[in-house]
Amino acid sequence: MPRSGTGRSGGRCAHVMITLPPLPYDLNALAPTISARTLEFHHGKHHAAYVKKTNELAKARGLDGARLEEIVRKAAEAEDQALFNQAAQAWNHAFFWESMAPAGQAGAPEGTLLDMIARSFGDVERFKAAFVQEGGAHFGSGWIWLLLDGAGALKLATTHDAGNPLMSAQTFPLFTCDLWEHAYYLDHQNDRPGFLKAWLDGVCNWQFATRQLTLAREGKNGWRHPAPSMALAD
Ligand SMILES: [Fe+2]
């Protein structure tokens, strides 16, 4: 459903568009786990392309002005794989940037989160081993998620390609890591388990996970993609 902001402005049509969120840290902030060169291409090329194509397809489907979460859900409901792939990848990457923090600022599991990891996985080391094992064993491209399930337990899940947990009211993501080769190949070549271990130990944003868990337990929305904004487009 088109929303306001689709009128004429200065001879060009103004649209309400999904924007590419800026990285929440410098390009070199995640090195050596993720180099500045990887981050520059990942954010500036891959993620930017998903955002651009989402806007093109959403406009063609009459979804100009909708929030990204709504576009993802509507694409899934309509079995519109082309739009779903682009929109979900746009959302997943924005959530992925929030799932990381510069080395030394990433925190550690504490309090309720630590207790829940212990209940669900045994302890933090066993959780880390499970994360590396599941993410390493995932066949092909996708994502690995730490989720709070409907029963109040933590669990790991992987999704293929652009898949994400937005369609399930029973799962609430605390963080995600990108399993596509473009996420790690320049820095770790084919060693995905090595990348996942370095990711957990170095840049996984436990403070973000804690915030997500708190919001989930309070029955509130978790992180949402920045609202679409006015932009001039031909
Ligand atoms: Fe990616």
Distance 4 CA to ligand 1 centre (A): 32
Distance 109 CA to ligand 1 centre (A): 25
Given this model, what pLDDT does residue 15 score?
A: 82
Distance 56 CA to ligand 1 centre (A): 20
Distance 123 CA to ligand 1 centre (A): 29
Q: What number is the average pLDDT over the span 193-210?
A: 97
Calculated CA dihedral for residues 44, 46, 50, 51, nearest 10 degrees: -10
Distance 10 CA to ligand 1 centre (A): 36
Distance 34 CA to ligand 1 centre (A): 12
Q: Has residue 165 got a pLDDT over 50?
A: yes
| Residue 174 banded pLDDT, cuts 50, 70, 90 | very high
Given this model, what pLDDT does residue 103 score?
A: 80
Given this model, what pLDDT does residue 168 score?
A: 83
Distance 229 CA to ligand 1 centre (A): 23
| 3-class DSSP string for 150-162 | CCCCEEEEEEECC
- Count CB-CB contacts under 10 A for residue 40: 13
**Token pair in block for residue 100:** 């990381």
Task: Look at 103 and 46; give whichever has higher pLDDT.
Answer: 46
Given this model, what pLDDT does residue 7 score?
A: 41
Distance 7 CA to ligand 1 centre (A): 34
Distance 178 CA to ligand 1 centre (A): 6
Q: Has residue 17 got a pLDDT over 70?
A: yes
DSSP secondary-structure letter at 109? -
Query: Which of 47-61, 125-139, 165-179 is predicted with the least confidence, judged by mean pLDDT?
Result: 165-179
Distance 193 CA to ligand 1 centre (A): 16
Q: Has residue 11 got a pLDDT over 50?
A: no
Distance 180 CA to ligand 1 centre (A): 6
Q: Measured between alpha carbons, how far is residue 82 from residues 61, 75, 88, 125, 161 in Å?
A: 11, 8, 10, 39, 12
Domains and CATH numbers, the chain: 8-22+31-101+226-233 (1.10.287.990), 111-217 (3.55.40.20)
Given this model, what pLDDT does residue 8 score?
A: 43
60-106 tens-digit pLDDT: 999 989 999 999 999 999 999 999 999 999 999 999 999 999 988 88
Distance 175 CA to ligand 1 centre (A): 14
Strand intervals (E) in the chain = 8-9, 12-17, 142-148, 154-160, 172-178, 229-233
Instruction: Quote the mean pLDDT of the chain.
Output: 92
Rounded Cα–Cα distance for residues 37 and 31 (Å)? 10
**Token pair in block for residue 175:** 């963080």
Q: Has residue 210 got a pLDDT over 80?
A: yes
Given this model, what pLDDT does residue 58 score?
A: 96
Task: Look at 152 and 10; give whichever has higher pLDDT.
Answer: 152
**Token pair in block for residue 70:** 């709504």
Distance 144 CA to ligand 1 centre (A): 12
Distance 232 CA to ligand 1 centre (A): 27
Calculated CA dihedral for residues 9, 10, 11, 13, nearest 10 degrees: -30
**Token pair in block for residue 171:** 């799962």
Distance 117 CA to ligand 1 centre (A): 26
Distance 141 CA to ligand 1 centre (A): 9
